[in-house]
C-alpha cells in the first residue's frame, strides 16, 4: 500500500434535489462532502477567482509576514495562496469553524506538492489572533459573519496588516435598486440552472441560506473597509451579484 494520501471522495451536490423540511443551511459533513461541486456550480466566477488569488498573493505577500485564509473550507483559496507565496519567507494559516471542512481540508493540503507548511485552525475567525499580516483572504466568508461583528473583524484585519499588505474580500452583494437586484438575481439563478440545478433545488437552497448569508451593497463594503483602516478599495472582479475586492493598506 502507498503512503501517499488519497483524494477524499467527491460527490455531486444533490442536497436540495428532493422536497425537504426547511431548515437553515449549515456547513456540516453532508455539505463538506459535496462542497467543491456545490461552490463551482453556485458561485459565478468562483473558478476564476481562485487562480487570481494566487496571482494577487504573489504580488502582495511580504517576506517575514503572516498570510491568513479566513473561512478556508476545503482549502481551495488556501492552496492558491500557498502557491502565490511560493518561496517567500511567509507563514500561512487557514481557519474554519466547521470540523468537517477542516478535516477534509487537511487531506487536500497533504496532497498538494508545495513545501510551504500550512497551519489549519478549527475555530471562529472572530477569535483568530491576527498579526504582522501581508495577505488575508475572506473568500465568500464575511457574508456568513453576523452583521454586528463585521466592522470589528475588518478593523482587526486592517490593524494587523502591514503597509502595502492587502485583504482579498469576495462576497455576494445586494443592490439598492430593486430593478438591478431583480436582474442580477435572475441571472444568478440562470447560471445555476445552466449548471444543472432544478427549480426545486434553486428555491429550496435559497430558503435555507437566506437566514445565514446576509449580503450587503458594494458601497457598504467600501465605506466599512475604508473606516476600518484600508486606504484603497479596488473591485477587481464582478460576475452578476458576486464581487471580489482588494482592500490595500496604504502607508500611514
Ligand atoms: C473557498 N474560502 O473555497 N468562523 C470560521 N469559519 C466560518 C465562519 C466563522 N465565523 N463563518 C463561516 N465560516 C472558501 C469558501 S465558504 C463560502 C468559503 C460558501 C466558514 C464556513 O464553515 C465555510 O466553510 C466558509 O466559511 C464559507 O475559497 O460556502 O459560499
Q: Which residues contact 17 (CB under 8 A, 6 or more apart)?
A: 198, 200, 201
Q: 2 pLDDT exceeds 50? A: no
Ligand 1 touching residue 225 (CB < 6 A)? no
Give the range of the structural domain holding residue 153, as residue numbers without chain letter: 46-174+212-248
CA distances from 155 to 12, 125, 217, 247 (A): 38, 13, 19, 12
Q: Closest Cα to residue 46, out of 152, 165, 234, 195?
A: 195
Cell of 239: 460576475
User: Would you say 139 and 53 are in contact if contact means Cβ atoms under 8 Å apart?
Assistant: yes
User: Separation of 138 CA from ligand 1 center, angstroms?
Assistant: 8
Query: How many angstroms is it from 2 CA to the middle of ligand 1?
Result: 32
Across the chain, what does the average pLDDT equal?
Answer: 92
For residue 136, the domain's CATH number is 3.40.50.150
Q: For ligand 1, is residue 101 a contact (CB within 6 Å)?
A: yes
For the record, the C-alpha cell of 186 comes out as 435572475
Q: For the chain, how many structural domains are there in total? A: 1
13 found inside a domain: no
Confirm or reject: Cβ of 244 under 6 Å from ligand 1: no
pLDDT band at 7 (very low <50, low <70, confident <90, very high): low
Each residue's pLDDT tens digit, 201-248: 787 778 788 889 999 999 999 999 999 999 999 999 999 999 999 999
Q: How is 9-40 classified by DSSP, letter by letter?
A: P-----TTSS----------HHHHHHHHHHHH
Amino acid at each position: 500500500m502507498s503512503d501517499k494520501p488519497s483524494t477524499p471522495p467527491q460527490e455531486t451536490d444533490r442536497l436540495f434535489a428532493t422536497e425537504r423540511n426547511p431548515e437553515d443551511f449549515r456547513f456540516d459533513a453532508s455539505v463538506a462532502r459535496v462542497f467543491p461541486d456545490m461552490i463551482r456550480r453556485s458561485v459565478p466566477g468562483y473558478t476564476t477567482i481562485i487562480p487570481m488569488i494566487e496571482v494577487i498573493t504573489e504580488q502582495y505577500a511580504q517576506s517575514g509576514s503572516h498570510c491568513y485564509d479566513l473561512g478556508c473550507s476545503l482549502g481551495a483559496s488556501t492552496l492558491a495562496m500557498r502557491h502565490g507565496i511560493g518561496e517567500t519567507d511567509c507563514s500561512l494559516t487557514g481557519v474554519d469553524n466547521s470540523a468537517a471542512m477542516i478535516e477534509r481540508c487537511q487531506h487536500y493540503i497533504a496532497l498538494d506538492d508545495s513545501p510551504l507548511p500550512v497551519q489549519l485552525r478549527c475555530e471562529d475567525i472572530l477569535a483568530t489572533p491576527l498579526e504582522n499580516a501581508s495577505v488575508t483572504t475572506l473568500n465568500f466568508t464575511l457574508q456568513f459573519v453576523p452583521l454586528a461583528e463585521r466592522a470589528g473583524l475588518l478593523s482587526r484585519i486592517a490593524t494587523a496588516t502591514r503597509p502595502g499588505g492587502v485583504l482579498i474580500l469576495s462576497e455576494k452583494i445586494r443592490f439598492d435598486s430593486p430593478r438591478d437586484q431583480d436582474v442580477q438575481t435572475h441571472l444568478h439563478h440562470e447560471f445555476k440552472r445552466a449548471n444543472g440545478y432544478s427549480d426545486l433545488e434553486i428555491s429550496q437552497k435559497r430558503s435555507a441560506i437566506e437566514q445565514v448569508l446576509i449580503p450587503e451593497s458594494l458601497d457598504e463594503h467600501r465605506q466599512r473597509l475604508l473606516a476600518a483602516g484600508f486606504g484603497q478599495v479596488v473591485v477587481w472582479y464582478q460576475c452578476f451579484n458576486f464581487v471580489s475586492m482588494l482592500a490595500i493598506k496604504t502607508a500611514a
